[in-house]
């Protein structure tokens, strides 16, 4: 089963990359508000059903893929994976 994990800096956590992107976009003439930069991880997991896949990926996120102190994560499963 294929899955995508989105890792983001938590709200309120300083994100210098996001700030740099934001100011560059404004310089290019795009009137953007706040920009935040995170990370995308595409995965293939062996779990057969969505709930066990989700549980397994949550464990991956807590242990490695995200740092829960400063990052939040979101799991998207490709149902027809």
Q: Which residues bind other proteins (CB under 8 A)?
A: 13-14, 16-17, 20, 64-65, 67, 69-70
The β-bridge relationship of strands 2-9 and 39-44 is antiparallel
Nearer to other proteins, 13 or 49 (CB): 13
Count H helices and E strands in the chain, helices first: 2, 3
Alpha-carbon gap, residue 74 to 7, rounded angstroms: 7
Task: Report the nearest approach of other proteins to the CB of residue 70 (Å).
Answer: 6
User: 46 with 32: CB under 8 angstroms?
Assistant: no
Task: Report the nearest approach of other proteins to the CB of residue 18 (Å).
Answer: 11
Nearer to other proteins, 28 or 69 (CB): 69
CB atoms within 10 A of CB 64: 9
Task: Report the nearest approach of other proteins to the CB of residue 49 (Å).
Answer: 27
Nearer to other proteins, 14 or 28 (CB): 14
């Amino acid at each position: 089963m294929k899955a995508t994990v989105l890792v983001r800096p938590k709200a309120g956590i300083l994100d210098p990359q996001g700030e740099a992107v934001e100011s560059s976009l404004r310089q290019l003439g795009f009137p953007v508000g706040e920009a935040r930069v995170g990370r995308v991880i595409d995965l293939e997991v062996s779990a057969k059903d969505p709930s066990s896949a989700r549980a397994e990926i949550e464990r991956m996120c807590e242990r490695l893929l995200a740092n829960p102190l400063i990052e939040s994560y979101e799991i998207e499963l490709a149902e027809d994976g």
